Amino acid sequence: EVQLLESGGGLVQPGGSLRLSCAASGFTFSTSWMHWVRQAPGKGLVWVSRLNSDGSSTAYADSVKGRFTVSRDNAKNTLYLQMNSLRAEDTAVYYCTRGRGFSAYDQRFDPWGQGTLLTVSS
């Protein structure tokens, strides 16, 4: 069974840092592009970042560029999201998801993890 399991969420003060992890199983992680998508409470979905299969190419939403860093360990089948300089508006459930498609432009997201909640508040 294809599965993604996020962890690492929690309560952080504004300006703080946190690292999310996403453990993958049931598919060939090392050949899969991966993404992070977030959803603020009661709001819609917002794409956050993308990482290609070997970790050599990244992309970020403007709202997190320079503050978030996506990385992966293919030996551990794990995706990471390092989040620095956190703001209240970063409060959301963070989902990791596998990207499927032939290029960077036709990525669809399937499957999704269950999500991990980040709350940024003093």
Partner 1 sequence: QSVLTQPPSVSGAPGQRVTISCTGSSSNIGATYDVHWYQQLPGTAPKLLIYDNSNRPSGVPDRFSGSKSGTSASLAITGLQAEDEADYFCQSYDSSLSGYVFGTGTKVTVL
Residues 2-61 that bind partner 1 (CB under 8 A): 35, 37, 44-47, 50, 59-61
Site string for partner 1, 102-121 (x = CB under 8 A): --xxxxxxxxxxxx------
Q: Measured from the CB atom, is 13 or 32 closer to partner 1? A: 32
Q: How far is the CB of 68 from partner 1 (least distance, A)?
A: 13
DSSP the chain: --EEEEE--EEE-TT--EEEEEEEESS-GGG-EEEEEEE-TTS-EEEEEEE-TTS--EEE-TTTTTTEEEEEETTTTEEEEEE-S--GGG-EEEEEEEEESSSGGG-EEEEE---EEEEE--
Number of amino acids touching partner 1 (CB under 8 A) = 27
95 binds partner 1 (CB under 8 A): yes
Residues that bind partner 1 (CB under 8 A): 35, 37, 44-47, 50, 59-63, 95, 100-101, 104-115
